[in-house]
Amino acid sequence: MKPVDTSFCLAHLLVCVNQRHKSALPSCASGDAEAIYQKLRGWIEAHGMLSRIWITRTECLGWCHVDGGTVAIYPQNIWVRAMTLDDCDALIEEHLQPLLSHGRPRKP
Ligand code: FES
């Protein structure tokens, strides 16, 4: 086992794209989940920050029982639920744009 150096990571976005089968509970994939992932990833990539702002598709993050569309950002510990594609610009402006001031991309 070897520890991973995450010192260059400014944030790690977890975007739920879970599709629940055989359940009455809603799933994020029933909403805009994949489009949200693609839009956020596209923004990060367009700014050349994929090595410093990580983004990962996940399974259920546990908030779909309320209203789905769930994104978590660490280490900031920001959680957003009921998110739609239209909310991406606000999330970017509020939580991702400020990270750009921390510097340019760095090779891992
Ligand atoms: S299916 Fe996305 S939070 Fe549960």
The CA dihedral of 65, 71, 86, 37, to the nearest 10 degrees, is -120
**Spacing, Cα 103 to ligand 1 middle (Å):** 32
Q: Indicate the residue type of 6.
A: T
Q: What's the Rg (C-alpha) of the chain?
A: 14
**Spacing, Cα 25 to ligand 1 middle (Å):** 9
What pLDDT does residue 57 have? 98
Pocket of ligand 1 (CB under 6 A): 16, 18, 20, 27-28, 60-64, 68, 70
3-state helix/strand/coil string of the chain: CCCCCCCCCCEEEEEECCCCCCCCCCCHHHCCHHHHHHHHHHHHHHCCCCCCEEEEEECCCCCCCCCCCCEEEECCCEEECCCCHHHHHHHHHHHHHHHHHHCCCCCC
What pLDDT does residue 102 have? 78
**Tens place of pLDDT for every residue, the chain, 108 residues?**
999 998 999 999 999 999 988 888 888 998 899 999 999 999 999 999 999 999 999 999 988 777 778 999 999 999 999 999 999 999 999 999 999 987 666 655
What pLDDT does residue 105 have? 63
What pLDDT does residue 107 have? 57
Q: Indicate the residue type of 20.
A: R
**Spacing, Cα 92 to ligand 1 middle (Å):** 21
Domains of the chain listed by start with CATH number: 11-99 (3.40.30.10)
